Chain A
């Protein structure tokens, strides 16, 4: 079935970087965009950016410009999100979500990233 499987929880020091992976299965990876959304503990959903899984072009939320890099590997149907210069406010669950007709129809299970000082 169609699913997105994300990498496991991470604990990072402030100032470090984290790279989260999202492996797609059950559909043609390059036919869909992949979005990244995060959710801080007890908070709402925050869109971070999107990658065109075919061409690799990206659009990032201005808040994350300069700190986030989204890439993909079409040979393994995997999308990646790397966030650098981590601070405590980046502690959150990070989700990948498939973009389909202007909606996010399939979501990964989430990856908890904890930033400690």
Chain B
């Protein structure tokens, strides 16, 4: 199975800050990497697909980059509604594993 490792596991930041979350795959997955946002008690929401393609309706302040084994999710200027948990996921081969999550909290 492909292991996905996110860092950091948690992050404190302020409104307006720029933050980045890293996701590493245990083997090369090309650009078969997705990012999801999850708020408490809610289902995950797709933000970024194929490493860098912004899902329709997602604010342009979110961006993704990377290929192979290292990927980054960047939030350009944190808004109050962005405080949530973020997961990466590989869709290269089943089982389609997720990272352990990064909890983004208000400082």
Among B44, B46, B91, the residue within 8 A (CB) of A45 is B44
Establish whether residues A104 and B95, one from each chain, have CB atoms under 8 Å apart when the complex forms. Answer: no
Which residue from B50, B97, B100 sits with its C-beta under 8 Å from A103?
B50
Question: How far, in whole Å, are A52 and B85 apart by their CA atoms in the complex?
Answer: 29
Closest CB in chain A relative to B26 CB, distance in Å: 15
Residues of A within 8 A of B91 (CB): 102-103
B99 contacts A44, C-beta separation under 8 Å: yes
> For A62, what are the chain B residues with a Cβ–Cβ distance below 8 Å?
1, 95
> What is the CA–CA distance of A44 and B38 in the complex, to the nearest angstrom?
10
B2 to nearest A CB, angstroms? Answer: 11
Q: Give the distance to chain A from B53, nearest Cβ to Cβ, in Å.
A: 9
Query: With a CB–CB cut-off of 8 A, which chain B residues contact A29?
Result: none
Shortest Cβ distance from B95 into A: residue: A61
CA distance A110 to B100 in the complex (A): 19
Given known A-B contacts A44-B100, A44-B101, A45-B87, A105 and B95 have beta carbons under 8 A apart: no
B94 interface residue per 8 A CB criterion: yes
What CA separation (Å) do A46 and B46 show in the bound complex?
16
Q: A103 and B34: CB pair below 8 A?
A: yes
> Do B98 and A61 touch across chains, with their CB atoms under 8 A apart?
no
* Pairwise interchain contact B43-A108, C-beta atoms closer than 8 A: yes
Interface CB pairs A-B, < 8 A, 22: A35-B96, A37-B44, A44-B98, A44-B99, A45-B38, A46-B98, A47-B94, A59-B94, A61-B95, A62-B95, A63-B95, A97-B44, A102-B32, A102-B34, A102-B50, A103-B34, A103-B49, A104-B44, A105-B46, A105-B49, A107-B43, A109-B43
**B residues neighboring A (CB under 8 Å):** 1, 32, 34, 36, 38, 43-46, 49-50, 55, 87, 89, 91, 94-101
- Extra inter-chain contacts (17) besides given A44-B87, A101-B50, A104-B46, CB under 8 Å: A44-B99, A44-B100, A44-B101, A45-B36, A45-B38, A45-B87, A46-B98, A59-B94, A62-B1, A62-B95, A63-B95, A103-B46, A103-B49, A103-B91, A104-B34, A105-B49, A110-B43
